Amino acid sequence: MNPLRTFFGLFAGVLFGAGLLLSGMTQPSKVAGFLDVTGRWDPSLAFVMGGAVVVFGIGAWLFREREFAILGDVVERAPKPRIDARLIGGSALFGIGWGLSGYCPGPAVASLFSFDTGLLIFLATMAITMVAHDRFLAWRDADG
């Protein structure tokens, strides 16, 4: 743990959370309203993603030739653009979960202190599944 790095992480987290709260992402009904394209459609979340993508896109473009980040870390390079069944199947599964609950990981984590039982159930199964998936991959890769 490095106090400076933890503090910057904390600051980024607060900013991210405030953005989610302000934009309406922590209201599952609003997410469902965005996904409900054949019903009464609420386009708000397109503005969330649009605003975020534009800001991040410009910043990332300005940063494109940097080899090292401000705090000295090596800037992560883009992985090989591998379009496979894992990418498509995983994204489809995530979309189904998103539609079923109205939660994606960020808003779900940010909503923790509402102590809503349904949300806690969602977070628990999400966290367990993530760890199980990662442990399985590590076990498989270590074996073969």
Binding to another protein (CB under 8 A): which residues in 10-49?
Answer: 10-33, 35-45, 47-49
Residue with Cβ nearer another protein (4 or 144): 4
Q: How far is the CB of 143 from another protein (least distance, A)?
A: 19
Residue with Cβ nearer another protein (21 or 143): 21
139 binds another protein (CB under 8 A): no
Report the alpha-carbon angle 110-120-98, nearest 5: 70
| DSSP H/E element including 98 | helix 85-101
- Residue 77 phi/psi, 5-degree rounding, is -85, 155
Taking a C-beta distance cutoff of 8 angstroms, is the pair 122, 101 a contact?
yes
57 binds another protein (CB under 8 A): yes
Contacting another protein within 90-109 (CB under 8 A) = 90-106, 108-109
Type of residue numbered 84: D
Contacts of 109 (CB under 8 A, 6+ apart): 123
DSSP of 105-126, one letter per residue? HHHHHHTGGG--HHHHHHHHHH
Q: How far is the CB of 85 from another protein (least distance, A)?
A: 9
Residue with Cβ nearer another protein (82 or 141): 82
DSSP state of 72: S
Q: Which of 65, 117, 141, 144 contacts another protein by CB under 8 A?
A: 117
55 binds another protein (CB under 8 A): yes
Residue with Cβ nearer another protein (54 or 139): 54
